[in-house]
Amino acid sequence: MDFTIRWASLEDWDEAMDMVWKTFLKFDAPDCTPEGQASFRAFITDANLRRAFEEGRYQMLTARDEGRIVGVGSLRDRNHLSLLFVEESHHHQGIGRAMVEFLCEYLAREVGLRQLTLLASPYAVEFYKKLGFAQVRPGSRPAGVPVVLMEKDF
């Protein structure tokens, strides 16, 4: 597979969030309450989140295959992985791993930080463990979305 990873542009937002939503519905929504599903939808469609992205306060990467967005990874609060989603047809091809590695290299080189945190869905916990993340505390279910706080020092 030949894919490219780059920082997202303003024109990428709608396509990226559409891919995130479709992937969430397939893999994460079944573990959420209806309230949790609505909460996640509200998060990715919130005008304030988009504004933060437009102003550079919410950084987002895209992975592209033949020009189409097949992966998204975003940072908030300097070193918290907010969203990492890879389209189902592109799972197990190294895209998620490559995006995490890109973000870790960026944080170390440009920001001077050597830790990445995230809230993992139950579906993604094992993936993150394979990348060297450790669970920080027991899982929780804020707003009906089950998550596990994880971190990685690099």
- Determine contact, residues 126/132, Cβ cutoff 8 Å: no
- In the three-class reduction of DSSP (H, G, I as helix; E, B as strand; rest coil), residue 76 is classed as strand
Residue 145: CATH number of its domain: 3.40.630.30
Distance CA 36, CA 29 (A): 8
- The parent domain of residue 130 ranges over 4-153
Q: List all residues 6 or more positions away from 152 whose beta carbon is below 8 Å from its beta carbon.
A: 104, 115, 116, 128, 131, 132, 133, 134
Residue 11, burial from CB neighbour count under 10 angstroms (0-12, 13-18, 19+): exposed
Structural domain total, the chain? 1
Q: Using 70 as the pLDDT threshold, list the residues of the chain that sit under it.
A: 1
pLDDT at 149: 98
pLDDT at 94: 97
pTM of the full structure: 0.95
pLDDT at 123: 96
